[in-house]
Structure 1
Amino acid sequence: MEQIPLYQHIVNALTAKIESGELQAGDQLPTEAEISKEYNVSRITSKRALTELENAKLIYRIQGKGSFVSADTTPQPSVNKASKEILLILPFAHNPGLGDYEKGINEYLATTDYTLNIQSNTIVGQRKLLESALQSANSGLIFYPVSSISDLGILYQYHLAKYPLVTMDKSIEGIPFLSVVSDNFGGGYQACQHLIENNHKKIAFISSLKVENSSSIRERYFGYLKALYDYNLIDYSVSDLTDRYLTHNNDREYYIQFVQSVMTQGITGIVAENDLIAIEIIQVAKELGLSVPDDFSVVGFDNIDLANFVEPKLTTISQNFEQMGYEAARNLIALIENPHKYPREDAVVPVQLIERQTVKKL
């Protein structure tokens, strides 16, 4: 027998009572707390069940009084705008070069009858958006998490409720959501290998976050380490700077100290977590009277639009954001339409090295 979401069990049970006449027009339904106790589920699950019944026009709610059986108890078709809408939660309102996520998602959704709703956590906050989305009538969620370890409690509620969710860019620690990511390991390896092939021996990795907190950064770092291992080189990352400076919200001081440490240690190559950090390092180097790539070389990650306009133009690893969005939408719709048959395999999108002007051959 196929397993169905917990909230759907409640929906089915209450619908049967309404259709059989056990619950008649105007009758008050149990409260969220009472449903939670009767069915041994969370308040979020009971609220989701009542929301589904309300969307189907089987019940109506009066604030402060409760939920009641509608006069017209003929179930409405479940296929409506609310139930055919996909929510995308992003950690940024606008990030140059990353808008292709939306383009890829909409390209796939155009082949279906689903539509896209986009929300950014820059104002409301990730947790509040997640709490709201779980109680909404959206069919599913494409989620770009701020880190791999944030808001695990509410995300685990999604897992328990079997809510269709696909993460993008990162995976969530300890929760088996489907994810769509770039080949971060391969990208970190390619970036480091490119520096090695240009005769760099002392190569450092720099990140704005601890590698433990983000699966994508961690994979890039591991790829960098694997390249060093394969070529019998040593890791020159200045990891202690992250704790000393970024934890005090002094990013500028962090980058200054990093560049100074690079020069002190004779490091000639840098693999940056992303393009924005790589560009920041280039600007700091100029302010310190240094030159990229003459004093040291830099490889970024993302290939944002700005990477091709800074001076010197940034060598970087290109992610296919449009393809990631497309795969995320394809996987989510398949999960919604066939939740018990769809194979739970994460999608890994290939990356590409883009050679420009920030790597010097020694």
Structure 2
Amino acid sequence: MSVTIYDVAKAANVSIATVSQVINNKGRISEKTKKKVHRVMEELNYQPNILASALMGKQTKTIGLLIPDLANPFFSELARSIEDSGHEFGYNIVICSTDYKMEKEAKYIALLKQKRVDGFIFASGFEKLEQVEALMNENIPVVIVARDFPMLPLNTVAIDDYMGGYQAASYLLKLGHTNMGIIALDVWSNRERIRGFNDALKEQNLEMRNDFEYITQGNENLIDAGKAVAHKYVTTSNPPTAIFSCNDMLAIGAIQAAKENGFHVPSDLSIVGFDNTAIATIVDPPLTTISQPIEKMGKEVMDLMISIVKGERKEQLRLTLMPTLVERKSTAKLI
């Protein structure tokens, strides 16, 4: 026999209305009572009927999060931050990994709409806007995280990717490097990082290497992809003295390629990554990288989503966070 809200109220010695307010995070309920009700719900294994609430026009306290690649530590850490922040507000996060495929994105959106989620969070990686525009036309709350679409009136929490690339180039130039390879996926965020990187070079009357090519995103392992591109660089007649990789996974692949080809990092080849995920601290040598404030991004995007769902925010918000360079042992001055 399933546990009902009446059973929870009786066990917690509170009214049914109080239990309902705790579940929906409404009303002026003391923290002591909230904790008591949540404890009883857990002890009784009580599950609120989310679908029934949705059919009655109430919030389901559920948000859909679509990310392109869970295997990328940046997206897994971002998802964790969003999930943790949502949990603090009593919201559940349903995480879907699209693998950069539009058909999977469409499939998950349809599924999440059937589940009556209160809103959608889209992480960077997708390039087409049809699905987002369709949701907006249905007045379903949408927030974009880790990228921006200036052409649409969207709520976004993004990093200044252009400035991140600019910082990377400026730092390597300061170390004396002028011959620099670049490893990047053909996605919006990486293109912005390369634009910033290239502008920093232009300020010094320098140009990008003419053998640079974007990696077309497929199903390959990002470390392997970075390794393959770095291998091409270091086996040319004019190998670079530094490589800028547009995420930490690509940078780790570059470190592996350098070692396998007899290059010492950083005395022979300096390598800079992007994201500052946990993996940057455990690779050998520890990775110099452009840090994204992942935890803050997760909190800000969830705060924004909840304010929209609750009807507290009417105007559009575009929040841009600044990246910072974290210097470790994978870079050195050019001797």
Say which of 289, 292, 299 aligns to 1:319.
292
Could you tell me how far apart the structure 1 residues matched to 2:233 and 2:171 are?
Answer: 21
Provide the secondary structure at the position in 1 that maps to 2:328: coil
Report percent identity of matched pairs: 29
Confirm whether residue 224 of structure 1 aligns to residue 197 of structure 2: yes
Say which of 252, 268, 277 aligns to 2:250.
277
Unaligned runs of 5+ in 2: 1-49
**Alignment of structure 1 residues 217-296 onto 2, 5 Å:** 217-236=190-209, 238-240=211-213, 242=215, 251=225, 253-261=228-236, 264-296=237-269
Provide the secondary structure at the position in 2 that maps to 1:265: coil
Aligned to 1:331: 304
8 Å CA contact 1:225, 1:235 repeated in 2: yes
Provide the secondary structure at the position in 1 that maps to 2:165: helix
Q: TM-score, normalised by structure 1?
A: 0.68
Aligned to 1:121: 98
Q: Which stretch has the larger CA shift, 165-174 or 226-235?
A: 165-174
Structure 1 residues 237, 137: CA separation in 2 closer, same or farther (over 3 Å shift)?
Answer: farther
Structure 1 residues 112, 95: CA separation in 2 closer, same or farther (over 3 Å shift)?
Answer: same
- Counterpart AA for 2:319: A
Aligned to 1:297: 270
Could you tell me how far apart the structure 1 residues matched to 2:78 and 2:257 are?
Answer: 30
Structure 1 residues 237, 55: CA separation in 2 closer, same or farther (over 3 Å shift)?
Answer: farther
Aligned to 1:192: 169
Structure 1 residues 329, 315: CA separation in 2 closer, same or farther (over 3 Å shift)?
Answer: same
CA displacement, residues 228-280 of structure 1 (integer Å, 9 cap, x when unaligned): 1223322226334747xx7896945444223324xx33522221111111110
Aligned to 2:82: 105
How far the C-alpha of 1:310 sits from its partner, in A, is 1.5
8 Å CA contact 2:157, 2:297 repeated in 1: yes
Higher radius of gyration, 1 or 2: 1
Could you tell me how far apart the structure 2 residues matched to 1:221 and 1:355 are?
Answer: 20
Aligned to 1:16: none
- Counterpart AA for 2:144: T
Say which of 326, 343, 350 aligns to 2:315.
343
Structure 1 residues 240, 306: CA separation in 2 closer, same or farther (over 3 Å shift)?
Answer: closer
Could you tell me how far apart the structure 1 residues matched to 2:213 and 2:80 are?
Answer: 39
**RMSD between superposed Cα atoms in Å:** 3.1
Aligned to 2:123: 144
How far the C-alpha of 1:95 sits from its partner, in A, is 4.2
- Counterpart AA for 1:295: D
Provide the secondary structure at the position in 1 that maps to 2:235: helix
How far the C-alpha of 1:284 sits from its partner, in A, is 0.8
Structure 1 residues 127, 187: CA separation in 2 closer, same or farther (over 3 Å shift)?
Answer: same
CA displacement, residues 73-106 of structure 1 (integer Å, 9 cap, x when unaligned): xxx4x435x2x21122222345446544244334
**Alignment of structure 1 residues 36-185 onto 2, 5 Å:** 76=56, 78-80=57-59, 82=60, 84-96=61-73, 98-110=75-87, 112-121=89-98, 125-147=104-126, 149-150=127-128, 152-172=129-149, 174-185=151-162
Provide the secondary structure at the position in 2 that maps to 1:191: helix
Provide the secondary structure at the position in 2 that maps to 1:267: coil
- Counterpart AA for 2:133: Y
